[in-house]
C-alpha cells in the first residue's frame, strides 16, 4: 500500500510538468498580451513606446524558455510570481478567492449529497413506480438545465416575488462577507449558488446512485440477506448502499474538484469573487502569470482528488488492495 | 469669435437639455443632505492604483474620490466641454500669458493629504513631472497629451507655472484629464515612482479604507477636504461586477444605487418599468465614436474610391433612429464631439460623403465608384470586436448597409486581446471596427486618431496633407482658424480620402436610484467621478 502511495505521488511530477508545458505555451500562442489590453484596450491613444516599456517591465521581452524556467522554478523557490495585471503576489490573489470557492464547493456538495443519495436510493427501491418516475424526471431536468440559467432564474424569481410580496425587490448580496464575520449575510449570499450548482450536480449523482443500487439489489448476497429474514432497512443501509457508493463517490469527488475552480459562469451570475471569476478575469486581461498558476491549481486539485478517491475505494470495499 | 460664442451658447443649452432629460425629479433646487453610504457597481477591474499609468474606468470610478486634480470639469456643469474650474488651484482658471505659452496657477493654501502632509506647489510640480517627463522605466499613459509642454516649475510655495513650446488649444483639456491625480512629492521622493501602484494617499473628498481585490473598494469621508462643506456622503462602496446583468439587477434589487458607465436602452426601460419613479434616468452624448478602419495595405482598400463607397453606403441618419433603440449609440457626428463649439453643424456634415441627406443618391454614387474601381459586388471580411454593446450590434447593421450596394461581407469576431493583436501586430484584416473613446472633450487632441501616424490608427497609411493640416491646427491659438482647419481636416479624413469612417457617436444612459442626488451626467464615463457633490435624499430611500 505504501509503495503504491509513493508511486502515485511520484507519478504526479511528470503529469504536472506536462501540464505546465501545455499551459505555458498554449497561453502564449493566443495573440495579444497584458500590455496591449492595459494600454490600448480602452480605445485611448496608446503610445507604442509605453507598450514596449510595459512589456519590458513585465519581462515579456525575454525569450520564452527563460520565462518558462522562471515559471517552473517558482515551484522550487516557493515564489509563484506576481499578477501581470495587479502586480500583487499570485498567492495573495488566489488565497483571497480560495475561501469563497471552497465554501461554495462544500455547500453545493452538501446540497447535492442530501438530494442525490436519498432520491437515488428511493428511486431504485421503488423502481417503476410513480416515485421513480418523479425522481427520474427531476434528475433529468437537473442535467438538462444549465446551472447558470437556473442561477439567473433564481435571482429574477427573488426580485419579482419579493417585490410582489413586500413591495421592495430583494436580491442576494453581491459582495462577499466571510462566514466568520456575519454568518447570516454569508449564507444569504452563498445558499443560492449552492442550490443552483448543487441541483445540477445532484442530478448526475442521483442517476448514478439509482443505477448502482439497482445493480447491487439484484446481487446474490442481498437475496441471501432477505432470505434469512434481515430487516429491509438494514439490508439497504448496511449491505446495498455502502456497496453501491463506489461509483457515486467517484462522481461526487470529481465534481467537487470541478466546483472549486470551474464555477466560471455561476460565479459571474451571482457576482461571486471566486476562483472561476478570477480565471475569467485573468484570461480576459491576458495575465499569463496568474492564468497559468490557476490552471496548474486546477490540475493539482484534480490529481489530488483522484488520488484520494483511489485510497477511499479501499476503505469502502475491503476487497480492493493496492500493491 | 462671435461665431464661436454662439456655438458655445448652443452647446451649453444642448448640454443642459441632455443632462436634464431625466425621468425622475430634478435635484437642482434641493439642499444637499449629509450622511449615508453610496453603493455603486463598477463593470471593470482595477489593475494598479496609479491613475497616471492606467487607462481603464475601472480605476477612475472606485479610486478617483481619493484624489484631487489641479483643474477639473465643473462638477455642477459637466455637460460643458469648456467649463473647467479650479480644484487644487485657486480662483478662476488661469489665462495664458506670453502669447499663449505660459500658464500660471495659484495653489490653494491649507490643503492636506490624507496622511497629514500639507500640499504645496511642489506636489503639483512633482505630479506633472511624473506625468509629462517620467524617469526611464516609469510608464505614463498620457504623456503624449502634453507634447506642447516645455517645463513645469514652482517659482514660489503656492505658484505653479507651465511653459509651453507653442500656444495650444489642447493644453487645458490635457490638464483637466481626470487621471492626473495629485500625488505628494514626499511619497514620490521617499517611496519611489511605483509606490502609488499599490498605495493611496491623496487630497480627495474620501479617504481609502480598504480594497478587497475583485470585490469592492471602500472609502470614508475626509473631514479635511478643501471644498468647504463637502463631501456630503459619509462614505462609499464601489462594488466590482463585471456582468451587466448583475449591475442592472443590483440597482433593481437595492444592492447598488448607481452605475456610472451606462446601460443600453432596453436595460433603462426594464429598470423604469420595474421601479417607476424610484429610478431617475440621465442621458447624454458620449465622447466615444464607433469607426471603421480599412486596411490601406490590402487591395482594393488602398483605393480611395472603394473607401468612399464604403462610407457612402452607410445611412447614418436613418441608422441613428433605429440603432438608438437597441444599442448605446445615437448621434450622427463628424470628427469632433457633437455639440462642441468646434463640431460640424448638421449643414456642414451633410456636405461630407456618407452624411448626405439623400441615402439613395449616396448609394448610387457608392455603386458607381465601386464599378469605376472594378470591384462592383466584391466580397470582404469585416473584423469586429467580441463585445455586444455596441460593436456587434452596429457591426451587424453595417454589413446590411454594405449589402445594399451589392457587397458581400462576412464578419470575423474576435475577443478583445486577439482583436487588438490583429489591429496592432498581425494587421491581417481588410476592414475593421475601431473606436475612439476619450475622457475630457479635447477635440484637438482627440482627432489625432484619424492621422495615419497616430499610434492608435490601424489603417497603415500616410497622408501628408492631413498631417500638415493637423500641425497647423495644433499650433493655432485662434478659434476661428481652428474651426476652419478642423473642417478641412474632417473633409480630408472622412470624405476625400475616407481613410477611416465614423458610424455613430455613443450615447450614455445612466438610470439610477432617485435618492442619489447631486451627480450630473458627463459626456464621458471618466469625468465627474470625485463624488464630492453627491448626496442621498433620505426621504426617497
Q: Hey, of B130, B133, B141, which one would you mutate to test binding to chain A, going by the most A CBs within 10 A of its CB?
A: B141
Residues in B touching A173 (Cβ below 8 Å): 255
CA angle A99, A101, A105 (to 5 degrees): 115
Residue B279 within a domain: no
Nearest neighbour of B455 by CB, restricted to A38, A46, A285: A46
- Is B189 in the same domain as B314? no
Q: How far is it, in rounded angstroms, from Cα A62 to Cα A70?
A: 11
- Is B189 in the same domain as B135? yes
Q: Does B48 touch chain A (CB under 8 A)?
A: yes
Q: In chain A, whose CA is at the least distance from the CA of B49?
A: A86
Residues in A touching B139 (Cβ below 8 Å): 50, 53-54, 57
Residue B273 within a domain: no
Residue B11 within a domain: no
CB atoms within 10 A of CB B353: 22
Mean pLDDT of A198-205: 92
Residue B369 within a domain: yes
pLDDT in tens, B29-47: 689 999 999 999 999 889 8
Task: Return the pLDDT at B18.
Answer: 44
Domain A93-316 part of CATH 3.30.429.10: no
Domain that holds residue B375: 284-507
Q: Hey, of B249, B277, B448, B515, which one would you mutate to test binding to chain A, going by the most A CBs within 10 A of its CB?
A: B249
Rounded to 10 degrees, the C-alpha dihedral B295/B296/B299/B303 comes to 130
Q: How many domains does chain B contain in total?
A: 2
- Is B93 in the same domain as B54? yes
Beta carbons of B252 and A159 less than 8 Å apart: yes
Backbone angles phi, psi at A82, to 5 degrees: -115, 155
- Is B316 in the same domain as B401? yes
Q: Which residues of chain B have pLDDT under 50?
A: 1-27
Predicted confidence (pLDDT) at residue A137 exceeds the cutoff of 90? yes
Among B residues 376-405, those touching chain A with beta carbons less than 8 Å apart? none
Task: Return the pLDDT at A24.
Answer: 94
Beta carbons of A86 and B46 less than 8 Å apart: yes
- Is B344 in the same domain as B214? no
Residues in B touching A37 (Cβ below 8 Å): 416-417, 420
- Is B357 in the same domain as B217? no
Task: Return the pLDDT at B128.
Answer: 97
* Cis bond before residue B300 (omega within 30° of 0): yes
Q: In chain A, whose CA is at the least distance from the CA of B290?
A: A43
Residue B375 within a domain: yes
- Is B215 in the same domain as B292? no
CATH number at residue B367: 3.10.105.10
Residue B27 within a domain: no
CA-based nearest distance A200→chain B, Å: 22
CA-based nearest distance B370→chain A, Å: 31
Q: How far is it, in rounded angstroms, from Cα B53 to Cα A42?
A: 13
CB-facing half-sphere around the CA of B238: CA atoms within 13 A = 32
In this predicted model, which residue has the larger pLDDT, B36 or A251? Answer: B36
- Is B155 in the same domain as B203? yes
Distances (CA, A) of A98 to A277, A295, B10, B200: 11, 14, 55, 26
- Is B400 in the same domain as B356? yes
Mean pLDDT of A49-58: 87
Task: Return the pLDDT at A160.
Answer: 95
Percent of chain A at pLDDT above 70?
97
- Is B302 in the same domain as B239? no
Residues in B touching A277 (Cβ below 8 Å): 214, 242
Q: How far is it, in rounded angstroms, from Cα B239 to Cα B227?
A: 26
CA-based nearest distance B235→chain A, Å: 16
Nearest CA to B100 among B503, B391, B470, B478?
Answer: B478
Q: Hey, of B40, B243, B414, which one would you mutate to test binding to chain A, going by the most A CBs within 10 A of its CB?
A: B243
CB B168 within 8 A of CB B475: yes
Q: At what angle do helices B244-252 and A147-166 cross, to 10 degrees?
A: 20
Structural domain spans, chain A: 35-79, 93-316
Residue B61 within a domain: yes
Cβ-in-10-Å burial (0-12, 13-18, 19+) of A250 comes to middle
CA-based nearest distance B445→chain A, Å: 10
Beta carbons of A175 and B424 less than 8 Å apart: no
- Is B250 in the same domain as B339? no
Residue B12 within a domain: no
Q: What is the ipTM of this complex?
A: 0.85
CA-based nearest distance B357→chain A, Å: 30
Task: Return the pLDDT at A43.
Answer: 61
pLDDT in tens, B429-475: 999 999 888 888 989 888 988 998 887 788 999 999 999 999 999 88
Backbone angles phi, psi at B81, to 5 degrees: -85, -10
A322 pLDDT tier (thresholds 50, 70, 90): low
pLDDT in tens, A148-164: 899 999 999 999 999 99
Amino acid at each position: 500500500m505504501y509503495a503504491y502511495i509513493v508511486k502515485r505521488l511520484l507519478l504526479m511530477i511528470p503529469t504536472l510538468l506536462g501540464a505546465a508545458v501545455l499551459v505555458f505555451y498554449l497561453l502564449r500562442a493566443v495573440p495579444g498580451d497584458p500590455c496591449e489590453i492595459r494600454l490600448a484596450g480602452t480605445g485611448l491613444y496608446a503610445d507604442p513606446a509605453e507598450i514596449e516599456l510595459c512589456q519590458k517591465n513585465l519581462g515579456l521581452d525575454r525569450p520564452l524558455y527563460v520565462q518558462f524556467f522562471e515559471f517552473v522554478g517558482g515551484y522550487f523557490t516557493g515564489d509563484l510570481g506576481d499578477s501581470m495585471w495587479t502586480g500583487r503576489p499570485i498567492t495573495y490573489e488566489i488565497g483571497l478567492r480560495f475561501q469563497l470557492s471552497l465554501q461554495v464547493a462544500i455547500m453545493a456538495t452538501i446540497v447535492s449529497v442530501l438530494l442525490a443519495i436519498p432520491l437515488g436510493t428511493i428511486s431504485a427501491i421503488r423502481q417503476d413506480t410513480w416515485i421513480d418516475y418523479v425522481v427520474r424526471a427531476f434528475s433529468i431536468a437537473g442535467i438538462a438545465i444549465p446551472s447558470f440559467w437556473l442561477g439567473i432564474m433564481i435571482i429574477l424569481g427573488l426580485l419579482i416575488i419579493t417585490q410582489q410580496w413586500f413591495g421592495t425587490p430583494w436580491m442576494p448580496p453581491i459582495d462577499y462577507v466571510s462566514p466568520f464575520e456575519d454568518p447570516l449575510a454569508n449564507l444569504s449570499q452563498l445558499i443560492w449558488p449552492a442550490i443552483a450548482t448543487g441541483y445540477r450536480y445532484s442530478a448526475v449523482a442521483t442517476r448514478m446512485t439509482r443505477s448502482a443500487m439497482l445493480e447491487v439489489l439484484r446481487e446474490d448476497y442481498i437475496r441471501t440477506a432477505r432470505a434469512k429474514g434481515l430487516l429491509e432497512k438494514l439490508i439497504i443501509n448496511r449491505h446495498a448502499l455502502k456497496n453501491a457508493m463506489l461509483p457515486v463517490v467517484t462522481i461526487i469527488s470529481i465534481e467537487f474538484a470541478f466546483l472549486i475552480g470551474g464555477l466560471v459562469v455561476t460565479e459571474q451570475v451571482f457576482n461571486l469573487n471566486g476562483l472561476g471569476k478570477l480565471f475569467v478575469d485573468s484570461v480576459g486581461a491576458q495575465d499569463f502569470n496568474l492564468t497559468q498558476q490557476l490552471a496548474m491549481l486546477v490540475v493539482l486539485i484534480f490529481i489530488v482528488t483522484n488520488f484520494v478517491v483511489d485510497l477511499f475505494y479501499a476503505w469502502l470495499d475491503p476487497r480492493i488492495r493496492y500493491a | 469669435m462671435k461665431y464661436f460664442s454662439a456655438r458655445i451658447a448652443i452647446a451649453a443649452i444642448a448640454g443642459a437639455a441632455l443632462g436634464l432629460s431625466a425621468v425622475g425629479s430634478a435635484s437642482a433646487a434641493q439642499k444637499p443632505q449629509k450622511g449615508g453610504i453610496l453603493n455603486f457597481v463598477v463593470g471593470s477591474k482595477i489593475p494598479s492604483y496609479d491613475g497616471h499609468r492606467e487607462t481603464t474606468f475601472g480605476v477612475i470610478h472606485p479610486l478617483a474620490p481619493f484624489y484631487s486634480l489641479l483643474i477639473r470639469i465643473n462638477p455642477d456643469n459637466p455637460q460643458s466641454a469648456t467649463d473647467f474650474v479650479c480644484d487644487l488651484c485657486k480662483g478662476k482658471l488661469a489665462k495664458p500669458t506670453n502669447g499663449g505659452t505660459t500658464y500660471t496657477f495659484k495653489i490653494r493654501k491649507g490643503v492636506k493629504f490624507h496622511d497629514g502632509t500639507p500640499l504645496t506647489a511642489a506636489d503639483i510640480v512633482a505630479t506633472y513631472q511624473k506625468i509629462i517627463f517620467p524617469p526611464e522605466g516609469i510608464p505614463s499613459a498620457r504623456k503624449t497629451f502634453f507634447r506642447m509642454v516645455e517645463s513645469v516649475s514652482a517659482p514660489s510655495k503656492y505658484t505653479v507655472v507651465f511653459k509651453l513650446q507653442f500656444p495650444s488649444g489642447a493644453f487645458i483639456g490635457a490638464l483637466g484629464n481626470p487621471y492626473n491625480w495629485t500625488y505628494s512629492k514626499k511619497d514620490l521622493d521617499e517611496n519611489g515612482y511605483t509606490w502609488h501602484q499599490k498605495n493611496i494617499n491623496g487630497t480627495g473628498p474620501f479617504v481609502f479604507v480598504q480594497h478587497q481585490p475583485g470585490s469592492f473598494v471602500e472609502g470614508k469621508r475626509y473631514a479635511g477636504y478643501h471644498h468647504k462643506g463637502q463631501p456630503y456622503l459619509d462614505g462609499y462602496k464601489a462594488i466590482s461586477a463585471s456582468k451587466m446583468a448583475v449591475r442592472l439587477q443590483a440597482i433593481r434589487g437595492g444592492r447598488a444605487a448607481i452605475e456610472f458607465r451606462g446601460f443600453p436602452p432596453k436595460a433603462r426601460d426594464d429598470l423604469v418599468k420595474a421601479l417607476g419613479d424610484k429610478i431617475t434616468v440621465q442621458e447624454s452624448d458620449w465622447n466615444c465614436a464607433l469607426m471603421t478602419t480599412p486596411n490601406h495595405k490590402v487591395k482594393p482598400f488602398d483605393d480611395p474610391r472603394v473607401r468612399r463607397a464604403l462610407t457612402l453606403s452607410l445611412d447614418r441618419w436613418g441608422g441613428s433612429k433605429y440603432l438608438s433603440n437597441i444599442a448605446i449609440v445615437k448621434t450622427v457626428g463628424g470628427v469632433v464631439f457633437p455639440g462642441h463649439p468646434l463640431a460640424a453643424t448638421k449643414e456642414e456634415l451633410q456636405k461630407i460623403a456618407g452624411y448626405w441627406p439623400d441615402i439613395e443618391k449616396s448609394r448610387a454614387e457608392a455603386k458607381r465608384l465601386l464599378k469605376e474601381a472594378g470591384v462592383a459586388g466584391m466580397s470582404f471580411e469585416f473584423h469586429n470586436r467580441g463585445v455586444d454593446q455596441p460593436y456587434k450590434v452596429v457591426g451587424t447593421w453595417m454589413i446590411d448597409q454594405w449589402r445594399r450596394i451589392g457587397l458581400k461581407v462576412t464578419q470575423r469576431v474576435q475577443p478583445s486581446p486577439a482583436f487588438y493583436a490583429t489591429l496592432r501586430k498581425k494587421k491581417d484584416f481588410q476592414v475593421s471596427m475601431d473606436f475612439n473613446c476619450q475622457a475630457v472633450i479635447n477635440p484637438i487632441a482627440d482627432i489625432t486618431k484619424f492621422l495615419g501616424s497616430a499610434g492608435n490608427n490601424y489603417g497603415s497609411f500616410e497622408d501628408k496633407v492631413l498631417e500638415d493640416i493637423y500641425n497647423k491646427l495644433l499650433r493655432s491659438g485662434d478659434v476661428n482658424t481652428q474651426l476652419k482647419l478642423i473642417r478641412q481636416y474632417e473633409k480630408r479624413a472622412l470624405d476625400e480620402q475616407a481613410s477611416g469612417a465614423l458610424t455613430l457617436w455613443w450615447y450614455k444612459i445612466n438610470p439610477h436610484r432617485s435618492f442619489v442626488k447631486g451627480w450630473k451626467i458627463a459626456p464621458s464615463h471618466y469625468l465627474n467621478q470625485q463624488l464630492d457633490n453627491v448626496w442621498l435624499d433620505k426621504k426617497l430611500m
